[in-house]
Amino acid sequence: MKRYFVLYAATAIALMATACNQMPETHDADVKAIQDNEVQWNQDYASKDVDKITAHYTDDAVLMAPGMSATAGKDAIRNLGKHLFSDPAMSLKFHASRVEVAKSGDLAYTQGSYTMTMTDPQTKQVMNDHGSYVTTYRKQQDGTWKAVADIATSEVPPPAPPATQMMKQ
């Protein structure tokens, strides 16, 4: 009788432990949600709606873009967006070639390429940039995904310094 009790107790504990460790399988849905989010984010950039663009970030997000200091916090990112979109030539498009979701289901990242057009503040000429990006996402309480770190690196070489600067060196 004791053997049966121990066997039943061990089986019950094993079943409870297994049930507690099982998480609902949401990987494919999470990948799709992140892909859909980035499609919407591109549309928001096309419309130049700074509030909609900023809504894709968490309050404590960090944006790191080529040629500028890291921008920390949603308000600072919003202010940067207002500044960037004061340029009529400004446009940004990006596309993920990779979407990875952690097994825990609370963190993810995308990796891909971007193209950007803007006016060079020094030369006043329209310039085209392209490069790579990585965006880290955190799943929110409501199930949506928001960017916590957004990092881009340009593949366009910086312009050569003017000849007068080179002669001084």
- For residue range 66-106, what is the model confidence (pLDDT) as tens digits? 888 999 999 999 999 999 999 999 999 999 999 999 999 99
User: Is residue 132 predicted with pLDDT exceeding 80?
Assistant: yes
Percent over 70 (pLDDT), the chain: 82
Does this model's pTM top 0.85? My answer is: no
User: Is residue 19 predicted with pLDDT exceeding 50?
Assistant: no
Please report the domains of the chain, with CATH numbers, ordered by start residue: 25-156 (3.10.450.50)
Closest CA to 65 of 161, 160, 156, 162: 156
Q: What is the mean pLDDT of residues 45-68?
A: 96
User: Is residue 22 predicted with pLDDT exceeding 50?
Assistant: no
Distance of CA 123 to the CA centre of its chain: 30
How high is the pLDDT of residue 104?
Answer: 93
How high is the pLDDT of residue 160?
Answer: 73
How high is the pLDDT of residue 45?
Answer: 97
How high is the pLDDT of residue 159?
Answer: 73
How high is the pLDDT of residue 157?
Answer: 86
The CA distance from 33 to 26, in Å, is 10
Q: What are phi and psi of 130, to 5 degrees?
A: -150, 155
How high is the pLDDT of residue 164?
Answer: 63
Task: Give Cβ neighbours of residue 149 (< 8 Å, ≥ 6 apart).
Answer: 61, 62, 64, 134, 135, 136
Q: Which amino acid is at 144?
A: T
How high is the pLDDT of residue 67?
Answer: 86
Angle in degrees, CA 43, 147, 71, rounded to 5: 100
The widest CA-to-CA distance across the chain, in whole angstroms, is: 96
How high is the pLDDT of residue 96?
Answer: 98
User: Is residue 127 predicted with pLDDT exceeding 60?
Assistant: yes
Percent over 90 (pLDDT), the chain: 73
How high is the pLDDT of residue 169?
Answer: 59
Q: Which amino acid is at 131?
A: G
**Could you give the count of Cα atoms lying within 13 Å of 43 in the half-sphere of its Cβ?**
6
How high is the pLDDT of residue 20?
Answer: 47
